[in-house]
A and B are shown apart, each in its own frame.
Chain A
């Protein structure tokens, strides 16, 4: 059984370990988020300016109101002119303040969406760089969860909480200034309570951080499970496993909601806690203020102004504390996203690596040994020299290592011993992209995406004209069924082509390969679900596809490969026989036995 590098069991263990070992440093996550935001430096500066102006305008209104009321009460005479003037000013300032606050919100929406867009871009960019083995070991649902839900969480927090924190900072510093001017001594109270709040918030953070992390992780697991079960829905239905799946879901759902509750249980303490400390400072201020008054060191008026400003001071801090939970969950989510962005990509091409250029198609495998796990080689000492334009068939029992061979040719994995050369160039001397582009590959597992038939066909050869696409479809005998689809070539294939049969999917992927202008062709059970009559019909086209090209063909249907220039019979990773169909039949060995078996 071929397995991935560490074997499936340890894969899971490693994944868990990775989840544990992720950057635990909240500061670096915050800095990184800030850096992502700072890419809009000008806009960010504008947001800060808007926030400051807006808040100052906000302070202006009450002051004008006070002045207007003073004008009403001034010595029993109402100064109508002043009242009306102040009221007009108030209207203006409130309108301006509303406009500014709207502008600020829109700006923050713009900035935070920009951050989200960039983070998604980076995450996806790296996804495209990751080795194939990453996808073999990470549930799609978890990948989806990171790129959609986790980034959404960051987004929600960015657009709401940052504004909150900005205005908190502005008001806090403003009020602090006023309070110093009134009574530096009373401010001593805050020397006790502010550090106390900070300490309390920090303590809370250390308690809640792992909880919020767990919450994100559990949600990721839930998504992973959901994705897998929905992918296998037909199977589950066929075996009446729906209720069993629901039961399993319930268990995972339970973990997810409990993780949610645990994080909220601790996280939702922060708001009231900070509020409590603020209230405490209020009590201290009033007691000490009153005592100072008794000692004749402070006037009643000064105390009440001080209290007024201290309310202004603590209000925003409360608000900020209330978004603490959201920020924690945003940080945990950001960590998961950054972890995906930082996942080591396929090793970069060697510095000296060149594009492979025009390929003749001379492929040499020189004593190649490879296994997904150490000590369990799948291919052993594999040697073959495939001249340009030759068709090589690889046959053998299932699990003999045929598909592994393809993975090595395409450099999805690297040989552990020996070397593979194309036109005399070792694989690591050429760039991966150019190497892969030199092959046209059709796999047994067809892959189609949500898009029209036409888009699916020209996938990978965007320069192809509609005529060329249709010609290729005709050659692959796909044209007639495509035309019978509701919108012909413009029919949208949904859910990996759920609306067409597997054999039809194979015909589409064959047509797709025919459009590629590659010098080398790999067919891995390309026609296994196509009926033999159609296969016969498309054989001519296949031969055209393969004409003059180096071809590697894997097929169980021996009729497919009879015409190969050379047949490699492999068993347990070793070449046990090689030759043409005729010579192998004469040999009456392994191949002969396999061939006879189809008529048993």
Chain B
């Protein structure tokens, strides 16, 4: 919260002060009205001067107009500050989220990041607007009221003022206690986001299993949790208003009693106590309103903590200073004794992986489910850093290359890759500076051209959410086209042709061989046919390299590979 106030609002301090000043004068004008009114009735009316009465009446109207204009202007300025601060906070948060490391994203989880970007930033924006709008008038009224009472009877004012520390303490302590509760509200909100997001993605399975009632029950549980957390937090804050009123009203009783004593001893007049009461009402309303602002404030403070926790997250996976310059003719890819395990897991996902691949060569990776194939790719592209050993690209440790320099070498299609709700063209181009011709060419090589242009809208055809209007194989071909489009130095295909029929797969391989000869290729596959032509094939087993070599070598030397081959080629007597 501190950061929101001190850093994000700083550029707007001047505007806020100006807005506060305008609001201040507007409020003063507002307060003038009863004063003029009293003057008309007490002083002007008894003289019977009708002209003066009308004149003072007009003065009141003028004050009213002035108050209206100033309040409107101040409100609008407040909204503008809230708009600008929200814009910056959201931008910073989104930018930070985009640049979090994969491990950081795993730890925070996407649903939580989504709800921070949406619901939490909204809470902050709401608070900024409200506090500026209501937060000025109430303190002015409270302070002004106290000032006036001071002129009436300082001793009685002191009695009143003596309660203020209690009220402040009560409000601040309750607010502080409620912030963790509001944290829990937002966390429960994360769960809600997660569940709805999951169900939107898995609706086919849910319907197929007829588990809509199970989902309703799961939702109900989360929904209840949200409500419970909300009730707890709001219930705590609900104490502030009534307690404040009670304390102040008790002070009022004390004032009357003390006033009676003072009147008895001749130190005060009854009229003053009467006037005191009028201002007391103003002070009371103002203080209760201030307490109300704290409710909004506490909620926003919890949200601000969550947002700033992400923004302030220290950058992970720093770029190391490079001692080495890239040697000439260094291998394209080199894994040097690489071991790795994911954050919480104690088991190594990869162990002692070493191999080199020359430029333009093809690496095939094959192995059992969960043997570490995708993990190897993730280390190569530096989504994660190895726990041991080093990964080198064109002779340079990937940790010494800035992320963008590093990844600019790659074109990749992953197993669970994403298509966006956009045109096919944009899905392939992905915002890169690539011409329509390049896109068309890549689509041709990825065997996507025919089906794309078969539709009358061609490349301008829009994809549904998650590309749901394409078949599995079509989706994969769009993703491959995306990977090929930038003519990358290194092409990574992580089991991304699994949904292609063999004929299309073969055509794709032919295109890669003929038209991307200079490109270093890394292909993960289940089908031996997809990688049989590779210059180097790694057979992974339980995170280790079980065997390596060319197709022919492995057939001769590796029982595991032979077994795989036989199981896939079985039945063909050619």
Contacts and interface: CB of A to CB of B under 8 A. Distances in A.
B413 to A, nearest CB: 9
Interface in A82-100: 83-84, 87, 90-91, 94-95, 97-99
Given A113-B231, A412-B207, A498-B106, A283 B421 contact: no
Contacts of A68: 256, 260
B10 to A, nearest CB: 18
Nearest to B270: A73
B182 to A, nearest CB: 12
A544 interface: no
B118 A219 contact: yes
Contact of B471 (A145, A403, A597): A403
Interface residues of B, number: 196
A290 interface: yes
B503 A597 contact: yes
Given A73-B263, A260-B86, A322 B134 contact: yes
Interface in B455-481: 455, 457, 461-466, 468-474, 477
Contact of B469 (A1, A84, A494): A1
Given A450-B198, A486-B344, A398 B245 contact: no
B454 interface: yes
A328 B502 CA distance: 59
B245 A94 contact: yes
A72 B6 CA distance: 51
B249 A61 contact: yes
Contacts of A39: none
Contact of A132 (B207, B211, B252): B207
Interface stretch (A43-51, A133-141, A466-474): A133-141
A286 B220 contact: no
Given A439-B208, A502-B495, A398 B474 contact: yes
A159 B461 CA distance: 46
B212 interface: yes
A351 interface: no
Nearest to B209: A460
A253 B415 contact: no
B564 A532 contact: yes
A53 B200 CA distance: 48
A600 B200 contact: no
A97 B257 CA distance: 21
Interface string B356-370: 000000000011111
Contacts of A445: 204, 472
B469 A8 contact: yes
A105 B241 contact: yes
Interface string A471-487: 00000000001001010
A433 B210 contact: yes
Interface in B344-377: 344-347, 366-371, 373-374
Interface in B56-72: 56-57, 60-61, 63-65, 67-68, 71-72
Interface string A153-164: 001000100000
Contact of B246 (A72, A95, A132, A462): A95
A113 B230 contact: yes
Interface stretch (A172-180, A243-251, A363-371, A420-428): A243-251
Given A127-B199, A141-B114, A254-B87, A287 B57 contact: yes
Contacts of B192: 147-148
Given A120-B223, A502-B416, A241 B499 contact: no
Interface in B409-424: 410-412, 414-418, 420-421
B499 A444 contact: yes
A357 B526 CA distance: 40
Interface string B103-145: 0011001110111011100100100010001100000000000
B438 interface: no
Interface string B196-227: 11111111111111111011101110011001
B527 interface: yes
Contacts of B569: 599
Contact of A219 (B50, B122, B370): B122
A182 interface: no
B257 A87 contact: yes
B506 A72 contact: no
B3 interface: no
A399 interface: yes
Interface string B421-463: 1000000001110000000000000000001101101000111
Contacts of B214: 459-460, 462
A442 B501 CA distance: 19
Nearest to A289: B41
Contacts of A290: 40-41, 44-45, 53
B196 A147 contact: yes
B498 A101 contact: no
A530 interface: yes
Contacts of A97: 245, 249
Given A94-B245, A231-B110, A597 B407 contact: no
Interface string A522-547: 00010011111111100000000000
Given A109-B238, A276-B64, A444-B472, A559 B568 contact: yes
- Contact size range, A: 35 or more
A503 interface: yes
A42 interface: no
A105 B242 contact: yes
A69 B256 CA distance: 7
B34 A311 contact: yes
Contacts of B36: 286
A207 to B, nearest CB: 14
Interface string B29-43: 010011011001110
A398 B277 contact: no
B8 interface: no
B517 to A, nearest CB: 19
Contacts of A110: 231
Contact of A149 (B119, B230, B285, B499): B119
Contacts of A237: 98, 102, 383, 403, 407
Contacts of B241: 101-102, 105
A1 B499 contact: no
A263 to B, nearest CB: 9
A124 interface: yes
Interface stretch (B74-82, B159-167, B170-178): B74-82
A140 B468 CA distance: 13
A293 interface: yes
B327 interface: no
A531 B472 contact: no
B245 A101 contact: yes
B563 interface: yes
B572 interface: yes
Contact of B67 (A4, A12, A279): A279
A459 B211 contact: yes
Contacts of B574: 596, 599
Contacts of A311: 34
A125 interface: yes
B184 to A, nearest CB: 15
Interface string A111-138: 0010011001100110111001001111
A117 B355 CA distance: 57
Contacts of B111: 495
Nearest to A129: B212
A567 B169 CA distance: 78
Closest A-B pairs by Cβ, 6 of them: A398-B473, A503-B369, A232-B418, A73-B270, A287-B57, A447-B202
Given A141-B114, A246-B91, A294-B53, 8 more contacts: A110-B231, A140-B465, A242-B98, A286-B60, A499-B106, A528-B498, A556-B473, A598-B527
26 contacts: A87-B257, A99-B242, A102-B239, A105-B242, A125-B216, A135-B203, A144-B193, A257-B83, A260-B83, A261-B79, A272-B75, A283-B61, A287-B54, A402-B471, A412-B204, A445-B204, A459-B209, A462-B214, A481-B370, A494-B109, A528-B526, A531-B367, A531-B369, A535-B567, A598-B502, A599-B529
